Structure 1
């Protein structure tokens, strides 16, 4: 394989913050990016070469994207896997991760069955089609997390259920066929960003994730657990990649149980929010790794540079409206902090608008770093505007 610069043009289905950061990472490699997204002037548009405006199931838009690029990937599970298969065949472009992997991942029940059948440790689960099924699941597992099989993210589509009398309302909330998963008595939540290259797999060190209301708030590196658990987490992530096809970055969310086991929560076939720390905290970011991997190029180092904490900047306004972020000097003046703004046109309650990463020095502990990251985040304020 010969790699030259300038390189090929990469098509990305999805132009949100992940598409934006993929384009930012691709540029230094001489790779231009064209994104496909239904929102004109999407967050990735300012940094990508161009945008195809179209829905994630628009055949003409997919044809346009494939005709203008040498390889195609996706940053959102709403991408139509059948269309990805077709453009790969019709236009002769590589599509990674493989469309069949997307088909497996986008349905949480199919995802869990695939992992369980491969011997990967997952929490007990069962299919739920109606309220009676859900009541049976509660009777079998006790408290459960009811998950919409498709379309859920950032806590949307997830409903905790512990009382059979809650079944009707819970099913109405998820809005269709679902999966019930037994609540896990976990010590902490972890994630591993794993990379499937052309002929090798590399894993970043496991991060510790702090959630509130089902939304990721912080990721802490190194994770505050034992070396044995960290090693096991990376092994489980590699087992997950053995069950899936195609090159690219995969976010593997995990539970460390109170009994010391590691179980898979969910898998994302793309760069992941819990991997944003890699931009400042690792030798090679997850976004550069994804670009390298989907193009079949050599992978970069996954080594942790230093203790690192990433904290999400979430919308705090009461309803969707244009706004800007103020007090950013609190972050910019901090020598160990970095601000990432996603360029979204409106702020909504709990919408991910950006993130702040704080890096430490040497082998120091992460607790004080986490508190510092939280303090910086609290300094940031949203001011509504007229657009």
Structure 2
């Protein structure tokens, strides 16, 4: 692709923190962004050329976005694949990743079925349309099970452990009442993630990352992951297999389980245990992902620049990790919604080699992602030391 001035315009459905970081990465490439988002003056608005205000699935909004862009992409799974496909056909503006890929990933049952059909390892799963299905799934897979809403959930939303048949009614009601998936609980050693890239010249992956979750929310990312080389190689292999099932250029966040050894597994779920050391696919996001934020400081090219390169048709950049790097999310530590005023930033920014990213959200809510901090080493520092340091910084930041 030849670059010109002015450069290509990328239309992005979604103007949250991912749209903001895409805008920051696109500028040096000469790529301008226009985003659509239902929130006026969305977090991305200060760093992009313009915003179209409208719902993620609104035809007129997406039509205007397509008419103003050379390529369309999305940074949120709430974009509507049917509307994207329609406006692409009407305007001739391509969409990456492909709307059918979004359609598959929006439905967790369809997503799991597609991986299973391709021979990609996933937790055992069953379709759940009612309470009887859930109770039958629990008997087959072994209690407890992880209940997931088929649609509308991402980043841990819509996921709920169901401990036993007596909890089935309440659990199913909490995730929406129907159209769910029950998955066998996986006795994992750790959670891993791979940011995969599909560009005009092939596929690539960023280094395997360890992710630390609590209450279904990603808290920290650690790269390199604290596991053995064989597991890292297997995780990358599985990620590349996933990329082979998806259509369209762009960056994909691939969440994985590294299975626990039998001695560490809970005997109550031993019946569905995979082999120790196996890698299972948890979920996939067709966009830049929270687990890849560390790449901004930690790699030659960030996941955001890589996504822009891929979708507009530029060559992929180097995914080399520059140094051991950890990141931690800054979450809302409040009990109720209030204006966002962060205390402790001066102390955080005085830490050598620490980078802070503020997402520009006007209100803070309990556990809302408001920003993140990243700390890179200078050589071969122990990632546990870096993780302790970044946690100390993160814990000193508060909205109270």
TM-score, normalised relative to structure 1: 0.98
Distance of 1:178 and 1:344 partners within structure 2: 31
Aligned 1:137-216 pairs, distance under 5 A: 137-142=137-142, 143-175=144-176, 176-216=178-218
* Deviation per residue, 1:22-56 (Å, 9 max, x gap): 01100111111000000111111111100000001
Distance of 2:85 and 2:21 partners within structure 1: 25
> Which aligned segments of 4 or more residues in structure 1 are displaced greater than 6 angstroms?
none
Match of 2:371 in 1: 354
Please state how far the C-alpha of 1:162 moved relative to its aligned partner: 2.0
User: Gaps (5+ residues) in structure 1?
Assistant: none
Please state how far the C-alpha of 1:193 moved relative to its aligned partner: 0.1
Distance of 1:177 and 1:164 partners within structure 2: 18
Q: CA RMSD in A?
A: 0.9
SS of residue matched to 1:234? helix
Match of 1:91 in 2: 91
Q: In the alignment, is the contact (CA less than 8 A) between 2:299 and 2:319 conserved in 1?
A: yes
Match of 1:10 in 2: 10
Please state how far the C-alpha of 1:5 moved relative to its aligned partner: 4.9
Q: In the alignment, is the contact (CA less than 8 A) between 1:138 and 1:164 conserved in 2?
A: yes
Match status 1:247 vs 2:268: no
SS of residue matched to 2:255? strand
* Deviation per residue, 1:248-275 (Å, 9 max, x gap): 0000000000200011000000000000
Please state how far the C-alpha of 1:141 moved relative to its aligned partner: 1.1
SS of residue matched to 1:77? coil
Match of 1:19 in 2: 19
Match of 1:292 in 2: 309
Aligned 1:1-387 pairs, distance under 5 A: 1-142=1-142, 143-175=144-176, 176-258=178-260, 259-383=276-400
Distance of 1:172 and 1:77 partners within structure 2: 22
Q: In the alignment, is the contact (CA less than 8 A) between 1:3 and 1:297 conserved in 2?
A: no
Count of residue correspondences: 383
* Deviation per residue, 1:165-213 (Å, 9 max, x gap): 0000001100131000000011100000000001211100000000001
Please state how far the C-alpha of 1:161 moved relative to its aligned partner: 1.0
Distance of 2:59 and 2:175 partners within structure 1: 28
